[in-house]
Amino acid sequence: MNTAIVGERYTIEAFKQYSYRARDEELRNILKEINAVKQNHVKLLETRLHDVFDEQVTWQAAGSEAYAGLHSWLQSSDELSILRRALGDVQTGVVDTYHHN
């Protein structure tokens, strides 16, 4: 479950960075909406981790946001690049979920 939390926290920060860089208002709004859904998902995962397994989030999960911010900062910010990275992040999340279940 910590792996899922790490992935979700990474993409939360990545999508936040994408929304800062996107110039198209519709794309920005979609990225913000995805970010809100992912934040809710992390809260649900953290609650389940605590309630069911009586565990806390690992330090790796806590540090994933900083890496996402740096990683996004180093990449280009044109609309097509942002959209490609965002779709790649969603695809990675789906693949990770499939492999960890």
Tell me how far CA of residue 62 lies from CA of 2, 14, 30, 56, 84, in angstroms: 10, 14, 25, 11, 26
pLDDT digits (tens, 9 = 90+) for 53-93: 998 877 665 566 666 666 666 677 788 988 998 998 888 88
Task: Give the residue extent of every domain in the chain.
Answer: 2-100
Both structure tokens of 4: 């899922």
**What is the fold, at CATH topology level, of the domain defined by 2-100?**
Ferritin (1.20.1260)
pLDDT of residue 74: 60
pLDDT (mean) for 3-18: 86
pLDDT of residue 6: 82
pTM above 0.85, yes or no: no
pLDDT digits (tens, 9 = 90+) for 23-34: 999 999 999 999
Separation CA 23–CA 1 (nearest Å): 35
pLDDT of residue 61: 56
